[in-house]
Amino acid sequence: MKIAIMGAMIEEIDPFLVTDGDEPLLQFFKKHNECQYGGNLYHEATFKGHDIILAYSKIGKVNAALSASTLIEKFGAEMVLFSGVAGAVNSELKIGDLVAATQLCQHDLDITAFGHPYGYVPEGAVYVDASAKLLAIATEVAEEKNINLKHGIIATGDQFIADHEKKDWIKSTFKADALEMEGAAVAVVCDACNVPFFIMRSISDAADSDAAFDFDEFLKHSAQRSSRFIISMLDKILVKA
């Protein structure tokens, strides 16, 4: 099986690749090749006899869609796991909480002038469903490790939200629990290509007026928490493969 692991920023993929000493994290992956393609660096590795491709897309929906497409079409990924951070929309979510996306939507997609709901594009849908099988595996991992994994709707847009009013609008319009800038783009690509996907986000800020401060302070810790969970999932995925 060939599995892709994605993040948006280097900080979200770094925990998979290096230790504090900047050496390959061989207990997870044996890195054997790096490939530059489309302006991005892709890491080809092996894990328990299976091929792993790691990449960070850079921020935003276009970059995320490009990287997800490359992972599937060029590298032959049969599954995509996304690890990263997000802002909380649901007031019950706290910094460090893990959220597994059940559905994803684009909060900045607006053709309401033509009578369509926010987030809808003709011949598409407002929401894209994540893989039920991968969500079930994530639930198993969470139960085994006694982790309070949240399931919810993640809203995506090409905006870093740091505004109460905008956050409340996204929450009420899409029933969203968290928001970020890449997930729905990855979901659309994977859904179109019939590739199962799972998107994990660790809460790094509250998407309010303090979001920029919180994000910088908690980015590394939140990214590490998400990446550790993805590794545990990977173990279980390969056992079931």
Q: 42 and 34 in contact (C-beta within 8 Å)?
A: yes
Report yes or no: 139 and 149 within 8 Å, Cβ to Cβ.
yes
DSSP output for 112-146: GGGTPPTT--TTS-S-EEPPHHHHHHHHHHHHHTT
- Using CA atoms of 45, 79, 15, 236 in order, give the dihedral in degrees to the nearest 10: -90
Nearest to 5 by CA among 62, 31, 203, 133: 31
Q: Which residues contact 151 (CB under 8 A, 6 or more apart)?
A: 99, 100, 102, 135, 139
Complete DSSP assignment for 23-35: -B-TTT-EEEEEE
Catalytic residues: 12, 205
Asked if 191 and 171 touch (Cβ cutoff 8 Å), the reply is no
| Residue 36 CB neighbours (<10 A) | 8
The secondary structure of 37-103 as a DSSP string is ETTEEEEEEEETTEEEEEEE--SSHHHHHHHHHHHHHTT--SEEEEEEEEEE-STT--TT-EEEEEE
